[in-house]
């Protein structure tokens, strides 16, 4: 494979760092950069941003 690899890692509000059950109503959002367990995934795959 040539070129950059793009990954979309969908996590719920708890693992995304928004909150627990009391924040389950929060809609889908997009965050720049890795959050939650995605930080480990980014480290394992390497980051093209740095």
- What distance in Å separates the CA atoms of residue 32 and residue 28, rounded to the nearest whole number? 14
- Residue 1 is predicted with a pLDDT of 63
pLDDT tens, position by position, 16-32: 888 888 988 888 888 88
Assigned domain for 24 exists:
yes
39 pLDDT more than 80: yes
* Cβ-count burial 5-28 (b if 16+ within 10 Å, e if not): eeeeeeeebeebebeeeeeeeeee
> pTM of the entire structure?
0.55
38 pLDDT more than 80: yes
Give the model's confidence band at 50: pLDDT under 50 very low, under 70 low, under 90 confident, else very high: very low
The count of domains in the chain is: 1
Assigned domain for 50 exists:
no
Q: Which domain holds residue 9?
A: 1-45
DSSP for 17-42 reads TS-SGGGTT------SS--TTHHHHH
């Amino acid at each position: 494979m040539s070129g950059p690899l793009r990954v979309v890692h969908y996590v719920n509000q708890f693992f995304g760092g928004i909150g627990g059950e009391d924040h389950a109503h929060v809609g889908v959002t997009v965050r720049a950069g890795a959050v939650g367990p995605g930080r480990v995934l980014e480290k394992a795959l390497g980051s093209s941003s740095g």
